[in-house]
Amino acid sequence: MDKLLEQIKKGVVWPFPGGVHPPQQKSLSNSASITRLPLPDKLVVALKQHIGANGKLIVEKGQHVLKGQALTIPKANWSVPMHAPTSGTIADIKLMPSAHPSALPELSVIIEPDGKDLWCELNPIKNPATLSHDELINIIHQAGISGMGGAGFPTYVKADTKQPIEFLIINAVECEPYITADDMLMREHAKQIVQGIELMQQLLNPTLCIVGIEDNKPEAIAAMIQAAEHNSLILVQKVPTIYPSGGEKQLIKLLTNREVPNNGIPADVGILVHNTGTLFAIQQAVYEGKPLIERVVTVTGNTIHKPGNVWALLGSEIKHLLDCQGFSPVPQQQVIMGGPMMGFTLPTIRIGVVKTTNCILAPDHKELAEPGPEKACIRCSACADACPASLLPQQLQWFAKSKEYDKLQEHNLFDCIECGACAYVCPSEIPLVQYYRVAKVEIKEQQAEKIKADRAKERFDARKERLDREQAERQNRHKRKPAVKTPDEKQKVADALARVKSKSANSDEKSAVAAAIARAKAKKQQGDALEPDNSEVAKERALRKEQARQYKEQKAQSDEPASPDDKKSAVAAAIARAKAKKAAQLANAESTTDDAPQNEAPVDDKKAAVAAAIARAKAKKAAQLADAESTTDDALQNEAPVDDKKAAVAAAIARAKAKKAAKALADAESTTDDALQNEAPVDDKKAAVAAAIARAKAKKAAKALADAESTTDDAPQNEAPVDDKKAAVAAAIARAKAKKAAKALADTDNTTDDTPQNDAPVDDKKAAVAAAIARAKAKKAAKALADAESTTDDAQVTSAVENNDAASSTKADEPKANDDKKKAAVAAAIARAKAKKSQKEGNDQS
C-alpha cells in the first residue's frame, strides 16, 4: 500500500488496453466563460432523471411554485426528488418525450416561468464540520443530486457506502471530443469543487483523494492545484489524452493500477469515483442550501454561431439553448445530446435538459458526415484492438444480430461501456454500439419478465398452499375429536393398568401346562445342572388315585356289576319295553278308533259286545307290557355307559324316525276321523267297512311308531351319563311333561272306554257328539305325549354331546366323571320309570 501511494504521488500512471485518438475539437467552446441564458418560455421537467425509482409527485396542475421548491419527494430506494428550476405556474403534468435514444415518453411537469425567478426558503450550512454523517447524507439526498457525468447514479447512495474507501477519485478527464463543461467549471469554480471534495472526505474518510485531469487542460489543472494547496490529501494527477480515459474503470486503472471485477463496482476494490459537476452540486447544496436545478452544458458545433458553455436550467428545451447560441440549421441537420462518440441523435429538439446532459452538438455535414451503409465485416480485428474493456466486439455483434442472449452474457456484454471506439475504427461502418444497446435493453426486459414470472409463481404456490391448508382445516373441523381425559381419569386408567400388571405378575394360580412349559424352558437354559420340580404333577397324580379308590369303594357298596349274560338280558328287556310301548300306544289308538264307530250309529248289540271284549283284552295286554317295561327299566339302571358319540348319533336317528311315525299316525287318525264324520249314521255295513279301514290305517301307523320307538328305546341304552345338574333339569322337565301327558291320556281313555260299556244302542246324534269329543281328547293326549318325549330326547342328546366334548378334552379326571355319569344315569332312569308308572296307572284306570 505504501509503495502504491509513493508511486501515485510521484505521478505514475498505468495504461489500460485499447483506446483511440479522435480529433479533440475543444477549442470551439473553451475560449469563453460560462454564460447564463434568459428564462425560457416553458420548462419540461422530467420526474425521472437518474437511475432508480421516480419520486412521489406533490404538486398539481395550476399550482404556483417557487424556485428550488420540491416537485416530488423520495418514495423508494435510489429515489431522489425533483425541484422547480424557477418560479412560475404548473401548466400541465403529462407524458413528454424523454432524453433517450428511444424518446420514450416520461411523466413530466410543465412549468411556465413568471419571470420573477423567486427562490424558496433556503437553509445554508456555514460550518459543515458540525454536521453528523446522517445529516450530511440527508442534505445531499434531499437536494436531488445524482451523477452528472455518466449514468446518473444517486450520489447519496455512493456517499453512504459501508465499505472502507481507500481512494476517492474525482473524474475531471472529460476525454470525449467537443465537450468542455467540466474544464470550464474547474477553471471558474475550482474552490467550490475542492469544498465538495472535502465534504466527501468527511463522509468517506479516504486515504487519498486523486483528481484525474487530461494533460490537454492546463488551465484546469493549475486552478485545481491552487484550490487544493491547503489540503495535503488531495492530489491533482495528469493523465494522457486518450479516449476513453474518462471511463470509470479505465480511470481507476490509470491512477491506481487496480481493476474492477466483472459485474462489480469500484467500492469492491476500495475506490469511489465522483464527477466534478457532482462535487460542485454537493457544495451548493450544503454551503448554499440550493438543490440541483441547473448545470453547465456545452453548446457547440459548426452550425452554432456562438459555441460555448452555458448554465442551463433543468427542463430547458434543447431548442432554447440552440436559439440562444445562434443555431443555423442545415438540410438534414442532426442534433446530438452528448459527445460525438457516446452521444445519441435527438428525435426532436423539444426535449428538456436533464441532470446528465453535458453537451449539445449541432455539427454540419463536413464536420460529422452521416455514416454510410453497413458493410460486411472483413475480420480486421480493429474493433477488438480498440476496445478498452478487452471484449470481442465482432463476436458480440453476431450474437446480438442472432439474438443469442445467453452467449452475449457469457461474453460479458454488460462490461461494455458503450464508448464507441469499436464503431469509430470499423472500416465497414458497422454501428456496433447500436447493436449492443438494443441487446442490453432486450436482455433487461427478459430478466424483468423472469423476475415477474418467478414472483407470480411464488404467489401462486403460496396461494395453493393456503387453499390446501384451509381445505384440510375444513375437513378436520368436521371430524369428531376424541374426548380429552382429565388428569384424574388418566390417573385412574394408569392405576388400573398397574393393578392388572401387578396381579398378573404376582399371580400364584398357574396352570399345570404353563408350569411345565416354564420348567422345560428353565431346564433348557440351565442344562442338566438342576433337577426339574415335579411336585405339582405328583400332587395331581395322587389326587387322581384317591378319586379312583373312592370310586371303586362306592361301586363295591352298590349292586354288583352285571355279567355278560345280564347285559344281554338288559338289551332284551329294552326291546321288550319298546314293544310294550308300541303295543300300548297301538291299543290306545285302536280302542279310540274302534270305539268311535260304535257311537256313530246304532249297530247290533253283539257287535258292540265283541268290540268291547277286544278292547278289554288289548288293555290287559298293555298292562302286562307295562310290567315288563318297569322290569326292564330297573335293569337299565345298572348298565355300563357306552360310547358317547355313537349314543348321540343313535338318539338323533331314533328321534327322526319317531317324528316320522308320529306324523304318519296323525295323518291316519285324521283320515279316519274325517271318514267317520262323513258317514251316514244308519247303515251298519258302511259303518263296519269304515271301521275296518280305520283300524287298518291305525295298525299301519302303530307299526311305524313301534319301529321308531324301538329304535328310540334302544338308543338311550347307549347314551353316556351326563352332568348331574343338566341331567336333573332334563329329568324334571321330562317328568312334568310325562305327568301332563299321562293325565291327558287317562282322561281320554276314561272317556273312550266309557262309551263302549253302554251296550245298548244310543241316539245317533249323541253318539256322534261323544265320538267327536273322544277324538279331540285323544289328539290332545297324543300331542302332549309326543312333546314330552321330544323334550326328553333333546335334553338327553344335548347332555350326551356336551359330555362327549368334556370327555374328549379331559382324560385325567375320568374316574370322577364316571361317578358323575353314573349318578346322572340313575336320575334319568328313575324319571323314566316314574313316567311309565304314571302311564300305566292311566291305562289301568281306563
Determine the Cα–Cα distance for residues 128 and 786; give it in Å rounded to an integer.
132
More confident residue, 546 or 683: 546
Residues 322 and 416 in one domain: no
Q: Which amino acid is at 424?
A: Y
pLDDT band, very low/low/confident/very high, at 502 (cuts 50, 70, 90):
confident
Percent residues over pLDDT 90 in the chain: 47
Closest to 320 measured CA to CA, from 359, 344, 351: 351
Report whether pLDDT(221) > 90: yes
What's the confidence (pLDDT) of residue 89?
96
What's the confidence (pLDDT) of residue 379?
92
DSSP 3-state percent helix, strand, coil across the chain (nearest 5) = 55, 10, 35
Cβ proximity of 97 and 105 under 8 Å: yes
Q: What is the DSSP secondary-structure string of 538-552?
A: HHHHHHHHHHHHHHH
What's the confidence (pLDDT) of residue 368?
84
Residues 419 and 354 in one domain: no
Closest to 799 measured CA to CA, from 784, 817, 815, 814: 817
Q: Which of 234-243, 448-457, 597-606 has the weakest average pLDDT?
A: 597-606
Domain that holds residue 433: 382-450
Determine the Cα–Cα distance for residues 614 and 556; give it in Å rounded to an integer.
49
Determine the Cα–Cα distance for residues 426 and 454; give it in Å rounded to an integer.
41
Residues 425 and 340 in one domain: no
Closest to 80 measured CA to CA, from 291, 294, 262, 236: 291
Q: Which of 104-108, 580-584, 783-787 has the weakest average pLDDT?
A: 783-787
Residues 736 and 638 in one domain: yes
The three cell numbers locating residue 553: 369303594
Residues 29 and 139 in one domain: yes
Q: Which of 439-443, 447-451, 786-790 has the weakest average pLDDT?
A: 786-790
Beta-strand ranges (E) seen in 268-405 are 271-275, 294-300, 308-313, 336-337, 344-345, 359-361
Residues 45 and 139 in one domain: yes
What's the confidence (pLDDT) of residue 538?
80
Total number of domains in the chain: 3
What's the confidence (pLDDT) of residue 816?
44
Q: How big is the chain, counted in residues?
A: 846
Mean pLDDT of the chain: 76
> Is 477 domain-assigned?
no
The three cell numbers locating residue 443: 436482455
> Is 549 domain-assigned?
no
Residues 283 and 426 in one domain: no
Peptide bond into 329 cis (omega under 30): no
Report whether pLDDT(738) > 70: no
- Residue written as grid cell 476513453: 244
What's the confidence (pLDDT) of residue 837?
65
Determine the Cα–Cα distance for residues 455 and 466; give it in Å rounded to an integer.
16
The three cell numbers locating residue 73: 419527494
Residues 135 and 191 in one domain: yes
Cβ proximity of 605 and 761 under 8 Å: yes
Q: Decide the pairing of beta strands 344-345 and 336-337.
A: antiparallel
Determine the Cα–Cα distance for residues 232 and 208; give it in Å rounded to an integer.
9
pLDDT band, very low/low/confident/very high, at 490 (cuts 50, 70, 90):
confident
Q: Residue 416, annotated ligand binder?
A: yes
Burial of 498 per CB tally in 10 Å (0-12, 13-18, 19+): exposed
Cβ proximity of 677 and 599 under 8 Å: no
Give how far Cα 689 sits from Cα of 293, 553, 606, 685, Å.
151, 65, 17, 6
Residues 324 and 394 in one domain: no
> Is 650 domain-assigned?
yes
Determine the Cα–Cα distance for residues 591 and 618; give it in Å rounded to an integer.
8
Calculate the CA 736 to chain-centre distance: 73
8-state DSSP, 104: -
Residues 309 and 198 in one domain: yes
Burial of 491 per CB tally in 10 Å (0-12, 13-18, 19+): exposed
What's the confidence (pLDDT) of residue 123?
93
Cβ proximity of 629 and 580 under 8 Å: yes
> Is 115 domain-assigned?
yes
- Residue written as grid cell 357298596: 557
What's the confidence (pLDDT) of residue 803?
42
Q: Which of 108-112, 529-533, 834-838 has the weakest average pLDDT?
A: 529-533
Determine the Cα–Cα distance for residues 51 and 657; give it in Å rounded to an integer.
116
CA-CA-CA-CA torsion for 387, 389, 394, 395, nearest 10 degrees? Answer: 170
| CATH code, 253 | 3.40.50.11540
User: For 26-60, what is each residue's pLDDT tens digit?
Assistant: 999 999 999 999 999 999 999 988 888 888 999 99
Query: Which DSSP helix (H) or strand (E) runs through 257?
Result: none
User: For 234-246, what is each residue's pLDDT tens digit?
Assistant: 999 999 999 999 9
Q: Residue 324, annotated ligand binder?
A: no
- Phi, psi (5° rounding) for residue 113? -60, 145
> Is 505 domain-assigned?
no
More confident residue, 788 or 316: 316
What's the confidence (pLDDT) of residue 332?
87
- Residue written as grid cell 424556485: 67
Residues 185 and 230 in one domain: yes
Q: Residue 359, annotated ligand binder?
A: no
Contacts of residue 624, defined as CB under 8 A and 6 or more positions apart, other chains included, come to 580
User: For 767-787, what is each residue's pLDDT tens digit?
Assistant: 455 555 656 555 655 565 455
Q: What is the DSSP secondary-structure string of 680-721?
A: -SS-HHHHHHHHHHHHHHHHHHHHHHHHHHHHHHHHHHHPPP
CA-CA-CA-CA torsion for 765, 770, 771, 775, nearest 10 degrees? Answer: 140
Cβ proximity of 421 and 243 under 8 Å: yes
Cβ proximity of 416 and 384 under 8 Å: no
> Is 321 domain-assigned?
yes
Q: Residue 209, annotated ligand binder?
A: no
Residues 289 and 400 in one domain: no
- Phi, psi (5° rounding) for residue 707? -60, -45
Q: Decide the pairing of beta strands 35-36 and 308-313.
A: parallel
> Is 136 domain-assigned?
yes
The mean pLDDT value for 639-654 works out to 50
Final residue belonging to a domain, choices 423, 450, 477: 450
Count the Cβ atoms, other than its own, within 10 Å of residue 753: 19
What's the confidence (pLDDT) of residue 532?
55
Report whether pLDDT(463) > 90: yes
Percent residues over pLDDT 70 in the chain: 63
What's the confidence (pLDDT) of residue 138?
95
pLDDT band, very low/low/confident/very high, at 531 (cuts 50, 70, 90):
low
Give how far Cα 688 sits from Cα of 561, 567, 675, 693, 701, Å.
55, 47, 12, 9, 20
> Is 232 domain-assigned?
yes
What's the confidence (pLDDT) of residue 659?
63
Cβ proximity of 87 and 113 under 8 Å: yes
What's the confidence (pLDDT) of residue 75?
86
pLDDT band, very low/low/confident/very high, at 823 (cuts 50, 70, 90):
low
pLDDT band, very low/low/confident/very high, at 658 (cuts 50, 70, 90):
low
Q: Residue 120, annotated ligand binder?
A: no
Predicted TM-score of the model (pTM): 0.57
Q: Decide the pairing of beta strands 72-73 and 56-57.
A: antiparallel
Cβ proximity of 300 and 321 under 8 Å: no
Determine the Cα–Cα distance for residues 734 and 790; give it in Å rounded to an integer.
9
